[in-house]
């Protein structure tokens, strides 16, 4: 079983490499402005600053994670979060508005908010999000339940590959996420791993964007449909980037499942 130190060290190394590549590419575009060629001037002016800023942000978080791995406890602890959502509507929507990139919320079809995650972005992160490049950056979120209480701290690591972590409020790591591909079917599978077993998974076609969310014994809890707009609330959610959730099990929804769904949403959209 992989430990937290190994995983975060890998994340830090990946972000440092990706950040270095982006900075080098961004500087190439910026230097090409000096050539004053009309065909490349606008392209360089557009991509140069964005790639450079994104690269610097990844270098910063990569170095932070590489150093953090040295002080991190080696193992994942048991998730003692017993808080659940007693009952949810059959159809809901999870996403963020075009006016607020740094908060994602779970809504019912009437627009009532149930749970949410909030990010406190750095200045570099805000600059990059203005150019819609935030999906490759690291992000730290706090997840709140329907009563407004903080239940988890969620980390999304940056780079072109994806990994997320879930921590209890006391800082102990309880789970991480990873993805894989079924070579036979071409379907993408996302895993939510607690200690030595996969508690949740989401499997589906990445081109269609529909995934079945299952527990460790294979029971389907929900079907999520990326960027699907519910007919009954089309106007309400037309400016919300996210996905439609059709719950197959609606009672006693664990907070860990909601954390997994938020991590999937942050990977796809934030």
Give me the domain span that covers residue 53.
4-71
Q: What is the pLDDT along the chain (270 residues), one digit of tens a residue?
A: 678 888 999 999 999 999 999 999 989 888 887 766 656 677 787 788 888 888 998 999 999 998 888 887 768 889 988 889 999 999 999 998 766 667 899 999 999 999 999 887 666 566 655 444 556 788 899 999 999 999 999 999 988 887 999 999 988 999 999 998 888 888 999 999 998 889 999 999 988 889 999 999 999 999 999 988 888 988 888 888 889 999 999 999 999 999 999 999 887 643
State the residue for tokens 């961004």: 26
Total residue count of the chain as it appears in this document? 270
In a shared domain, residues 238 and 156: yes
Give the CATH number of the domain where residue 147 resides: 2.40.160
In a shared domain, residues 49 and 178: no
Residue 17 near residue 63, CB atoms below 8 Å: no
DSSP helix/strand/coil, 173: strand
**79 within domain boundaries:** no
Residue 213 near residue 261, CB atoms below 8 Å: yes
In this structure, the number of other CB atoms found within 10 A of the CB of residue 197 comes to 9
**78 within domain boundaries:** no
In a shared domain, residues 62 and 114: no
In a shared domain, residues 111 and 175: yes
Residue 100 near residue 71, CB atoms below 8 Å: no
pTM for the model: 0.87
Burial class, 252, CB count within 10 angstroms (exposed 0-12 / middle 13-18 / buried 19+)? exposed
In a shared domain, residues 10 and 113: no
Residue 190 near residue 208, CB atoms below 8 Å: no
In a shared domain, residues 189 and 225: yes
Domain end position, chosen among 31, 48, 71: 71
Q: With CA atoms as reference, report the closest residue to 12 among 79, 70, 54.
A: 70
């Amino acid at each position: 079983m992989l430990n937290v130190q190994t995983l975060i060290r890998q994340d830090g190394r990946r972000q440092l490499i990706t950040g270095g590549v982006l900075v080098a590419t961004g500087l190439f575009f910026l230097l090409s402005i000096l050539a004053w060629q009309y065909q490349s001037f606008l392209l360089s002016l557009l991509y140069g600053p964005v790639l450079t800023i994104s690269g610097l942000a990844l270098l910063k978080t990569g170095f932070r994670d590489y150093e953090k791995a040295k002080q991190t406890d080696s193992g994942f602890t048991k998730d003692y979060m017993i808080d659940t959502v007693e009952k949810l509507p059959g159809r809901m929507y999870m996403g963020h508005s075009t006016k607020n990139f740094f908060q994602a919320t779970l809504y019912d079809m009437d627009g009532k908010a149930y749970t949410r995650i909030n990010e406190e972005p750095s200045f570099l992160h805000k600059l990059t999000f203005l150019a819609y490049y935030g999906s490759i950056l690291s992000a730290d979120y706090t997840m709140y339940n329907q009563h407004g209480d903080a239940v988890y701290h969620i980390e999304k690591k940056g780079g072109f590959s994806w990994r997320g972590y879930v921590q209890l409020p006391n800082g102990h790591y309880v789970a991480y996420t990873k993805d894989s591909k079924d070579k036979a079917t071409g379907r993408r599978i996302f895993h939510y791993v607690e200690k030595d077993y996969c508690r949740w998974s989401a499997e589906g076609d990445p081109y269609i964007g529909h995934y079945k969310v299952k527990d460790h014994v294979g029971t389907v809890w929900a079907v999520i449909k990326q960027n699907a707009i519910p007919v009954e609330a089309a106007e309400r959610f037309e400016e919300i980037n996210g996905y439609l959730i059709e719950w197959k099990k609606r009672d006693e929804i664990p907070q860990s499942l909601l954390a997994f769904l938020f991590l999937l949403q942050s990977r796809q959209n934030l």
